[in-house]
Amino acid sequence: MTKVFSYFLFFLVCSTANAQNDITIKGTIVDINSQLPLEMATVYFTTVKDSTVLEYATTDKNGVFRINTKKIDKPVFLKVNYMGYQTLVEEQKSILESKDFGKLYLLENVNALENVIIKTEAPPITVKKDTLEFNASAYKVRPDANVEALLKQLPGVDVDNDGKVTVNGREVTQFLVNGKTFFDKDGALLLKNLPAEIIKKVQVSDYKTKKEELAKQESTSDNSTINLTIDEKKNKGFFGKMLGGYGSDDRYESSVILNFFKNQQKISVLASSNNINSTGFSMDDVFDNMSGGRNSKSNNQSSGGGKGITQSNLAGINYSDDWTKDFAVMSSYNFSNTINNNESKSDQINFLPTGNILTSSDAKTRNENTGNKVNLELEYKINPSTTLVVTPKFNQTKTNSDSKSNTFSEDESGQELNESTSQSKNEGNSFNFTNSINFNKAFEKQSRNLSLVFSNNNTRSDSNALNLSETIFYQDNKPNDERNQNSKNDTSADSYSLDVEYTEPITDSLRVRFGSDFDWANTVNDQKTFDFDAASQSYSDLNLSLTNYISSRQNSVSPKVGITLQKNKYTFNLNTKTSIVDYDNHSLYLGNATDLNKKYALPFANAQMRYKFSRSKNLTFRYDYSNSLPTSTQLLPVLNLMNPLNTVIGNPNLDPIEKNSAGIDFKNFDFRTRSGYSVFIKGDYYNNDVVSTSIYDESGKRTTTYANISGTYLASIGGNWNQSIKKDAHVLRYGLGINASYSFDKGFTNAVLYNAKATAITPKVYLTYEYGELLTVSPSYSLSYNETKYENYTRDATSNVVHRINLQTTSYWPANLIFGNDFGYTYNSNISSDFKKDFYLWNTSLSYGFLDKKLYAKIKVYDVLNQNLSATRTISATSIRDEENTVLKRYVMFSLAYKIGNFAAEKGLKRRQREE
């Protein structure tokens, strides 16, 4: 108790000392001529020595700014910037006490135009109505740094070791270049491959759907978008990177990305090939494509990285341009080919009221996927108030797989139940076409708007599978199941929807929306199975019990109405609709037709309220009520005998699934302390949830159908806190987070109702230290705890704990030398004795730069200790499964990487230097 009191007293003293060092700077920004206050002016302090930004704030509607800061015992500039006004600069020898600057007057530029900033100095940060804009030149990075390094320098921006970007606690889910997509929206290519030196501004705004963007509606998302604008002087030229490497065990990697920018026209080409589990394209400056097998900080229950070893080939091209001032084109093509080889083994316990069934299995698989994907986005401004955006996408995929597996099941007393062996080959082709057409018409009255969104999704697929299997039943005198079959499956799925919405402003802050959704969907699944005919030596004997034709059609009309109330501090959205659904299902099985036609009236509603305390502090509340229909397979009372150990039949009496979701989210970032935190709580509650229910016979074979269960729920809570401290060349970023969930699940096994209550807790702590451009050190620790308690089972409870420790270091000293290490340790506490509980994964890289750091020679070692493994424990309401898969093991690789870049501004400078 004395120690606790001492710690509390120490904390209190420290807090009091810190509070004594806090001071408040305030004032009012006004127009010198009109004497009117200026809202959203940027007020900031910079050092006189090197213009480093110390603190900043923006003015409210009364022109008032307030900055809470520490004492500043050095010369600083107080600067005020506002669109269309001359920048105000005042030097302060120091700021050691609270101060009220009173009224500070700005003089309007005589030639200022609307929405144009005429200034002598670009402010490091500009806050507009819904956009936070950073001036990239105000933040120092290494000369060869990429965009990721630039983002790490921006206040409020955090980039974790997995590449996830957050701004003021909000995750960034879309990245754009000059307002346009760059291959994809997830940002991986941009962060790693776009040089920071060509970036002029980084603009952060709320993520909007295309419909919200065109209609200029407020965002309903809690995520953000980052738009990178390129410096006009460097918007003409080319840049890129090429990499090639070869190593032990015939491991290899190669990649190239080339970019050509000419004003609005941007062309990028990329290609990659490797057999080290890197299936995307995201070259890390230190580890290159090793990210496909590096230590991960994700909080899943896996103890290692991935399933199997993948050989990957990738090629793509991205093109964007403004063909006219009113017509913009964005397009990309991607080719991919992956071959995955894996060997796995698993132990699974299935819980029954009368005893458990233990199943052991092993499998060997080879999967090959080849894909071609084309994305287009065409934006046409018909006139200043009317815009049309068309986004067609084409995706063609070919699959080829081979597998061999063995399975053995027994009861708790060791009595054999069944055993099976299987060998299969499968070839498949699929083609998918999706398209959306967004039409938006803005009327003369502000906020009056008409929006039409048409979308379609059309898929065609076929598969041809050969299956040779034998299942032996040891109990109940059941005959063995032997199969030598060829199964052919043709599937088509078509869906179309039209969203019509009209918005009418009632007041400046209140808008009402009217409209309707029209939806049509149709699916057809034609399954034919042929047994091998020994006489003809061909698969020509149609097996009627494994042949079925199923079709399903849904038509719905959903009138809807919504309101938006938007004030300076808060926004409230409410949307409701009722779907009138005509649902028809048909099956032709064993010569018998089964038709199931139903009609529904399904209500939907959602509400969202967001309160903005400030630009970086907001509270969001969401509620969503929805209904969804069971699938045709779940409804149709038709046997599915494809699995010898599990016969499935639908239930025509299922009701629609009713779901209630609610959540509260609070985020805050304090620029003064460079710290931020976020907390959330959310929950889902289900009525008439559709669950599978199985009855086991004495041989362990299942008969499964579906049932409605009410009263199940999932609740989760979590939070994250992080802080960044910067002093001279030292930068320290650290944080902690925790996520927890509790779920209540119900179901039937052997016709007995069971309950399962699951708890999961995943705390983590992380830290990054940077010393200038020389050293980066990033340790972290995370824990995953999962426990499930059961009722009406022979087992009362089960749990699992996974510990992860990780240390990543990168050294840039001495000059031209880069030394990186990625060390991780994982311990899985409760995995079964057949699997290894812990392992180390250590990756290292050493490179040296030549030719002014354009050429890097590199040697790297993956899994230095040769201990990598993939062992997982999965806990569900009815089973525990432990599984181990093939993983990439130790290899050594030597590689060369070459960076190229040539911009018009640089060429002009070099030419002038030669002339001089």
What is the number of alpha carbons within 13 Å of residue 815 lying toward its C-beta?
4
Spatial distance between the Cα atoms of 707 and 694, rounded to a whole number of angstroms: 10
Written as one letter, the residue type at 267 is: I
Provide the pLDDT for residue 184.
65
Tokens of 378: 């065409």
Q: How far is CA 20 from CA 13, 53, 725, in A?
A: 11, 23, 19
241, with CB counted inside 10 A (0-12, 13-18, 19+), is: buried
Give the max Cα distance, the chain: 102
Interacting residues of 209 by C-beta distance below 8 A, sequence separation 6+? 221
Element (H, E) at 310: strand 309-324
Provide the pLDDT for residue 615.
64
Tokens of 677: 């935190």
* CB contact at 8 A, 118 and 84: yes
What backbone phi and psi angles, to 5 degrees, belong to 683?
-155, 150
Closest CA to 529 of 547, 505, 502, 552: 547
* CB contact at 8 A, 871 and 303: yes
Provide the pLDDT for residue 277.
86
Tokens of 544: 């009627």
Spatial distance between the Cα atoms of 214 and 203, rounded to a whole number of angstroms: 18
Spatial distance between the Cα atoms of 661 and 682, rounded to a whole number of angstroms: 7
Element (H, E) at 633: helix 632-635
Judged by phi (left if over 0) then psi (alpha if -120 to 50, else beta), residue 12 lies in alpha
Given a cut of 70, the residues of the chain with pLDDT beneath it are: 1-21, 110-122, 128-129, 161-162, 169, 183-188, 280-306, 615, 671-674, 792-795, 903-916
Spatial distance between the Cα atoms of 152 and 768, rounded to a whole number of angstroms: 11
- Among all chains, which residue has been given the structure tokens 């041809």? 464
- Among all chains, which residue has been given the structure tokens 């940027």? 42
Q: Is the dihedral of CA 289, 294, 298, 302 positive or negative?
A: positive
Strands (E), 506-645: 510-533, 538-542, 548-566, 570-589, 592-614, 617-628, 640-643
ω into 779 cis (within 30 of 0): no
- Among all chains, which residue has been given the structure tokens 């200034």? 119
* CB contact at 8 A, 350 and 878: yes
* CB contact at 8 A, 215 and 449: yes
Tokens of 509: 């802050």
DSSP 27: E
Spatial distance between the Cα atoms of 301 and 802, rounded to a whole number of angstroms: 7
Q: How far is CA 266 from CA 150, 305, 323, 335, 479, in A?
A: 22, 36, 12, 20, 66
Bridge partners of 459, per DSSP, are 432, 493
Provide the pLDDT for residue 626.
96
Tokens of 300: 């899943």
Q: How far is CA 691 from CA 193, 290, 675, 703, 747, in A?
A: 46, 41, 44, 14, 7
Closest CA to 549 of 479, 604, 488: 488
pTM of the model: 0.82
Q: Could you tell me whether strands 548-566 and 570-589 are parallel, antiparallel, or unpaired per DSSP bridges?
A: antiparallel
Closest CA to 174 of 159, 185, 163: 185
